[in-house]
Amino acid sequence: MHFLFVTLSILILLFVLLFVGIWLDIASGKRVKGPLLPKHTMDRSYNKLHYYTEGHDLFREMRQTIDAAKDHVYLSFFIFEADEAGKPWLELLMQKARQGLDVRLLVDFLNSRSLHRNLDELRAAGVHVAFSGKIKFPFTFYYLNRRNHRKILTVDGTTGYFGGFNVGMEYLGNNSLMGEWHDNHLRLEGNGVLHLEHVFAADWLAATGETLDFSKQVAVGDGPSTLDLIATNANQAEDIFADYFRKARSSIVICSPYFIPSKKLFDVLLDRLANGIELSILVPMKADHMLVKPASFYYLAPLVEKGAHLYRFHQGFYHAKIFIVDKRRFYIGSANFDQRSLFWNDELLSFSEDPALAAELLAQFERDVTDCSKEFTKEDFSRRSLVDHVKTACTLPFHSFL
C-alpha cells in the first residue's frame, strides 16, 4: 500500500512538473518572441476576382494555371498530402521545374508528413521544398503552436489563389467521417498578386534564410475589384476583426468551422446585438477536433440568448471562413473565428466591397442555411444535458489554444 502511494505521488508530481514546464515554456516564448513578430499594413489592390466553393473545380483550375506558367510557381500550404489528390500536383511541379522554371513549395512542418517520402524526387527534379514552423529550442512548446496557416499559389506574378483549401483527398470530400467538404478560395488577377508573392517571400525567408529576387518583377495591370490584403503573424487579426464588426450598421454574418472568439471580439458582438444589429452565425454540426464543438457553446449560448441566429451545417463539413457586414462588405481568408488564428497562426486576410461577389456570398450563405443547416435556438440550448455543460466547462483552460 505504501509503495502504491509513493508511486502515485511521484506520478502526480511528475505530471505537475511537466504541466508547469510546458506552461513556462509557452509563456516565456510569447513574452520573448511575441514582440519580435512582424506587423504589416493593409495593402489595397485592384483585381479581377473569381470565387470557388468546390474543390474539384478549384484544383483543376489551379493546376491549369501552373501548367501555363512561364517563369515561376510559388505554393504555400498548411497541409499538403502526397495522396491521390496531391500526387498530380507534385508531378506537375516536377515537370515545370524540369522545364527550367523557378518552382517553390512551402508546407507546414507538422502537417505535411506524407510529403517527406517525395522530397528526394522533388528536389532531384529541381523543385525547391521547404518547411515552415520547424520546432526549435528553447521555447519548444511555443514553437509547436506557431503554425503557418496560409494557403497561397502565385504564378508568374500575374495570377494568384488564396483561401481555405489545403491539398488532399479530404478536401475533395473523400473522408467518409466528415463527408462532403465545403470551403472557399479566391483567384485574383491584378496587382494584388504581387502582394501575395511578397507574403510568400517573407515566409520563405523565415523558413530557409533565402531572400527571393524580385528585381525583375513587372507591375500588373489593375482589375475592376478592390481588395485589401494583410498577412498577420499571430497578431493584428483581433483588432482588425473588432474594428470591422464595430462598423456594422445593420447586419453581421459569420461563417467559420470554429467559433472560439477572444473576449474582445465576443464583447464587440454582444455590443452590436445590444445596438440592434442582426447577427447570423453558421458553423458545422460535425467537428474535426474533440474540444472545439463543446468550447464553442460557451460563446454561442449567450449570443443566441441576446438574439443572434445560430445555424449548424449538417451536409458534410463546413470549413469556409466568411464574414459579411451590412450585406455589402466581406472578409475571405485563411483565418478562422478562433483564438488559434488570432494569437498563434500566421494568416492571410482579405476584405472587399465588390458588389457582385458580395451578392454571390450572400446567396451562398442563404442556400447553406436553407438547404443544409438547422437553426439552433434558445430552446435547444436549454435542452443541453448536464454532461454537455460539463464538457463545455472542461474546455475553458484550453480556449487560448483552440
Catalytic residues: 149, 151, 156, 319, 321, 326
Coil vs helix vs strand at 181: strand
**Cα–Cα distance measured from residue 402 to residue 183, given in angstroms and rounded to the nearest whole number:** 19
In the DSSP assignment, the letter for residue 111 is T
Amino acid occupying residue 336: N
Continuous segment of H or E residues that includes residue 329 = strand 329-333
Residues 344-379 as b/e (b if ≥16 CB within 10 A, e otherwise) read: bbbbbbbbbebeebbeebbebbeebbeebbeebeee
Amino acid occupying residue 383: R
**Cα–Cα distance measured from residue 110 to residue 171, given in angstroms and rounded to the nearest whole number:** 18
In the DSSP assignment, the letter for residue 160 is E
Place of cell 517553390: 104
Smallest Cα–Cα separation from 228: which of 52, 40, 60?
40
Contact 228, 43 (CB under 8 A): yes
